[in-house]
Structure 1
Amino acid sequence: MPGPILIIGAGINGLVAAADLAARGKPVRVLERGPTPGGAVRTEELTLPGFRHDVAAMNLSMFAGSAFMAKHGPEMARHGMDFVPIPRPFAQALEPGDHLGISTDVEETLAGFASEADRATWRALMAEFPERAGVVGGLLGTPMRRGPLLRFLWQSWRKLGTAKSLDTARFLATSPRGWLDETFEDPRLRTALASWGMHLDFAPDIAGGAIFPYLEAMAGQALGMVIGKGGADVATRALVGMIEAHGGSVECNAEVERILHENGRVTGVIAAGEKIEASTIFAGLAPKHLRRLLGDGSGDRRFDRGLETFRHAPGTMMLHLALDAPVPWAAEALGRYAYVHVGRSVDVAATTYAEATAGLLPATPLLVVGQPTLFDPSRAPAGKHTLWVQARVVPATIRGDAKGEISARNWEDAKEPMTERILDLIAEQAPGFRRTILARTAVSPLDLEAGNPNLVGGDQICGSHHLSQNFLFRPLRGFADGSTPIANLQMIGAACWPGAGTGAASGFFAAQALR
Structure 2
Amino acid sequence: MTDAIIIGSGHNSLVCAAHLATKGWSVAVYEQAAVPGGAIKTAELTLPGFRHDWAAMNLSLFAGSQFSKTYGDVLSSHGLDYVPAQNPFASVFPDGKWFGVSADPVATAERVDDFSPADARAWKEMSASFFSDAEPIFDLLGSPVNKRSIAKLALKTLPKLGINRTLDLARFMMMSPRGWLDETFESNHVKATLAAWGMHLDFAPDIAGGALFPYLEAMAGQAFGMVLGKGGANTVTNALKAMIDANGGTIECGANVTRVLHENGRARGIVLDDGRQVMAKKAVIANVAPRALARLTGETGNKVYDKGLSKFRHAPGTMMIHLAMEDLPDWTAGPELRDFAYVHIAPSMDYMARTYQEAQAGLLPKEPVIVCGQPTTVDPSRAPEGKHVLWLQVRMAPGEIRGDAAGEIAAMNWQDAAEPFAERALDILETYAPGTRAKIIGKHIVSPMDLEADNPNLVGGDQVCGSHHLNQHFLFRPFRGHADGNTPIANLHHTGAAVWPGAGTGAGPGFLLAQKLAGK
| TM-score band w.r.t. shorter chain | over 0.9
Q: Which amino acid aligns with 1:44?
A: A
Partner of 1:18: 17
| C-alpha contact 1:492 1:507 (8 A) present in aligned 2 | yes
Partner of 2:266: 265
Partner of 1:116: 117
The secondary structure found in structure 2 opposite 1:208 is coil
Partner of 1:3: 2
What displacement does 1:4 show?
Answer: 2.0
Partner of 2:246: 245
Partner of 1:315: 317
Deviations 1:362-397 (A, max 9, x none): 111011110000100100001000000001111111
Counterpart of 2:412 (choices 409, 413, 438) is 409
Aligned-partner Cα distance in 1 for 2:347–2:292? 38
What displacement does 1:329 show?
Answer: 1.0
Matches within 5 A, 1:31-50: 31-50=30-49
Counterpart of 1:383 (choices 381, 386, 391) is 386
| C-alpha contact 2:465 2:498 (8 A) present in aligned 1 | yes
Structure 2: 5+ residue stretches without partners: none
| C-alpha contact 1:96 1:330 (8 A) present in aligned 2 | no
Deviations 1:197-220 (A, max 9, x none): 000000000000000000000000
Partner of 1:130: 131
| C-alpha contact 2:146 2:475 (8 A) present in aligned 1 | no
Matched, 1:305 2:310: no
Deviations 1:106-155 (A, max 9, x none): 22212222111111111110111111221111111111122222211221
What displacement does 1:159 show?
Answer: 1.3
Aligned-partner Cα distance in 2 for 1:28–1:96? 55
Partner of 1:450: 453
Aligned-partner Cα distance in 2 for 1:118–1:321? 36
Matches within 5 A, 1:45-64: 45-64=44-63
Partner of 2:100: 101
Q: Given the two structures, how large is their TM-score scaled by the length of structure 2?
A: 0.98
Partner of 2:331: 329
What displacement does 1:434 show?
Answer: 0.8
Aligned-partner Cα distance in 2 for 1:283–1:64? 24
Counterpart of 1:374 (choices 374, 377, 393) is 377
Deviations 1:78-111 (A, max 9, x none): 0000010111000001115311000111222122
What displacement does 1:282 show?
Answer: 1.2
State how many pairs are aligned.
Answer: 513
Aligned-partner Cα distance in 1 for 2:49–2:95? 32
Matched, 1:346 2:349: yes
The secondary structure found in structure 2 opposite 1:266 is strand
Q: Which amino acid aligns with 1:164?
A: R
Q: What percent identity do the matched residue pairs reach?
A: 55
Q: Which amino acid aligns with 1:122?
A: W
Deviations 1:304-355 (A, max 9, x none): 1111110000010110000011111112221110000002211111111111
Matched, 1:437 2:403: no
Counterpart of 1:423 (choices 410, 417, 426) is 426
Aligned-partner Cα distance in 1 for 2:400–2:363? 9
What displacement does 1:408 show?
Answer: 1.2
| C-alpha contact 1:176 1:197 (8 A) present in aligned 2 | yes
Q: Which amino acid aligns with 1:406?
A: I
Counterpart of 1:397 (choices 397, 400, 423) is 400
Aligned-partner Cα distance in 2 for 1:65–1:469? 25
Partner of 1:85: 84
Aligned-partner Cα distance in 2 for 1:215–1:20? 27
Matches within 5 A, 1:167-206: 167-206=168-207
The secondary structure found in structure 1 opposite 2:351 is helix
Which stretch shows the higher mean deviation, 318-327 or 92-101?
92-101
| C-alpha contact 1:100 1:192 (8 A) present in aligned 2 | yes
Q: Which amino acid aligns with 1:139?
A: L
Deviations 1:446-475 (A, max 9, x none): 111011100000000000000010011000
Counterpart of 1:284 (choices 280, 284, 287) is 287
Matched, 1:166 2:167: yes
Aligned-partner Cα distance in 2 for 1:404–1:108? 43
Aligned-partner Cα distance in 1 for 2:189–2:452? 34
| C-alpha contact 2:474 2:500 (8 A) present in aligned 1 | yes
Matched, 1:221 2:229: no
Q: Which amino acid aligns with 2:117?
A: E
Which stretch shows the higher mean deviation, 250-259 or 141-150?
141-150
The secondary structure found in structure 1 opposite 2:367 is coil
| C-alpha contact 1:197 1:209 (8 A) present in aligned 2 | yes
The secondary structure found in structure 2 opposite 1:514 is helix
| C-alpha contact 2:91 2:346 (8 A) present in aligned 1 | yes
| C-alpha contact 2:2 2:27 (8 A) present in aligned 1 | no
Partner of 1:497: 500
Deviations 1:175-195 (A, max 9, x none): 000000000011100000000
Q: Which amino acid aligns with 2:327?
A: A
| C-alpha contact 2:257 2:271 (8 A) present in aligned 1 | yes
Aligned-partner Cα distance in 2 for 1:300–1:485? 6
The secondary structure found in structure 2 opposite 1:38 is coil
Superposition CA RMSD, Å:
0.9
The secondary structure found in structure 1 opposite 2:2 is coil
Q: Which amino acid aligns with 1:54?
A: D
